[in-house]
Amino acid sequence: MAPAVRVLCDLAKQSQENAGVAWLIGVPWMPWTIVSSIRCLRYKDGDPDYAAEEGELRILLPGGLEVIGALLVGSDAAKACAVATKIREALNLVSSNDIVAATRSISSDGITFFSQALQPIEQSSFSSKEFWESTALLHCQVELGLSIYTSSGTSSDLKKQLDGKIRDLAESFTSSTTVCIMEGSSRRFLVRSQANEELQSVFPDSALFDSSIPHPLAVKLLTQQSKQTDQVIAPVGHYTPSAEGTLLHTATVSLDVLCLVSRNSALHKAMNTITRALTIQLESIGKALSARNTSLQLRPYHFKVPASVHPVTAIFDKNQLERDSVDLRKALHSRLGLPLDRPLFRVANALTIRGPQFISNRIDGKRLLDVHLGLPRCGISGGEVSVIDGSYEYYHYLQDRMDDKGWGCAYRSLQTIMSWFRLQHYTSMKEPSHREIQATLVEIGDKEPSFVGSQEWIGAIELSFVLDKLLGVTSKILSVRSGADLPEKCRELAAHFDTQGTPVMIGGGVLAYTLLGVDYNELTGESAFLILDPHYTGGEDLKTIRNGGWCGWKKAVSDTGREFFLRNKFYNLLLPQRPQAV
């Protein structure tokens, strides 16, 4: 049976705007399996700059992942094999017969796969679930302190001392005195890199978090500081006089690596993967410190990006302002084929890896988060669901010791919408209170001063003013003369959720709702609306909210003839637009 290549990413989308090279990423224990692709950004004389690419790929990819091939647009398979071989050589990867060459013509989205022998390869189906069933994710953090004494204070002397310290630390990772502790499902294992025993089965099954990634297994690295000996050893101090003033340079190096290993891997081989990843990260940070200065607070962060099976890693300066890292974030978006209209690589978006698992419907502070997750579909035959992209907090009546029952529903919808912008890290501003919302409308001249402290309603127009003033967010307004006409707007609403992904406020009469999605059949016109109702007055109980219909799918007119959106009411819909920012 001829081999087939398994693809876990959208290569056609990745190569649509790329007329150059995309690196195909896989794992050595799964031949012919492409788990992701990363665009080549560095070129030299028309070919990839392999040295520059090698340095950046080492930082970006978790340990255990390798470049297994290349995708070229507008070129042939032989060229794809050649560039894949060269980048593997630059990465010091052993030769492999499993290199995959992929080509796509400029005028077509179809991708053709070839073996290293330039024989065509068929593509077979494969899922992320199958991938993680045979793959374990490991997480290791190490913090190191560097103290460097220089007598001259010159940059060359400092660089020499720093390079030596980094080299010594890197060598310590593979020392016979270094061990790691891996905690399995029922016991802990102490593992040495040079172990002879083939210990296995330490990797427990783990629930997936963040929709697709399993929670990583924690690994601790330990180094033996003392030696066992029968001899009496007294402490010794060394004194070296200096003709000039001696300067002390200190730096803290924080290492944080994720590694992918086969679930059938021997433990000492898994440890070797971890120590290699730590060494690579340490050397990368060392180069940056050496080239610039030791005052940098460089730290690795892990990110889950859309449509990626695995996390990726980026290194940022903790002291650097976000506006100063825009170019780096844009480059990361370009490498991974991501849009430039959302902040996926801001530090606040990094994965927080702690605890036994991640829970989607959780209390964040006082409020429930993402209460729509896990709801069954409405049952629109042949319908297509479009929902918000991102997290939000559920704001409703009587929260914050505020009795706004009967008049505050639009205020609560606005707070829910603003929580979306905060949780997607477009802003750090907390959601404003009712009084602060009213004061904002007075400040811009929309309301009289007497409006502050009142119980007057507001609608979509006022919400758009507040979003613009406080967040700089623009909004579109859709209007319908009757609630019966709302299904006619489903095509526009679906496009909004697919492209902008922000919650929508619907206001009609004296009622306001937050819209989280639509289920729409373009052929029949059947539709349903995913409503988050701010009129709820109970406690933060997810079961009560769902069973009571306070968050759920609603038809404009139910099967029993009950109108959810009233025919005799005029409705405005507020569609906040996602800022164009990374």
User: Running DSSP on this structure, what letter comes out for residue 117?
Assistant: T
> What is the secondary structure of 392-450 as a DSSP string?
-B---TTGGG---TTT-HHHHHHHHHHHHHHHTTS--PPPPPHHHHHHHHHHTTSS-GG
d(CA 216, CA 64): 14
- N- to C-terminal Cα separation, the chain: 46
Which residues, other chains included, contact 463 with Cβ-Cβ below 8 Å and sequence gap of 6+? 410, 413, 414, 417, 475, 505, 574
For 257, 447, 536, 540, the CA distances from 510, given in Å and listed in that order, are: 53, 18, 15, 25
> What is the secondary structure of 515-531 as a DSSP string?
EEEEEE-TTT--EEEEE
Beta bridge partners of 7: 34
Tell me the residue length of the chain. 582
Report, as residue numbers or ranges, the catalytic residues.
409, 533, 535
Alpha helices in 483-541 (DSSP H): 490-499
Task: Please say whether the beta carbons of 495 and 481 come within 8 A.
Answer: no
d(CA 568, CA 508): 10
Alpha helices in 254-324 (DSSP H): 267-291
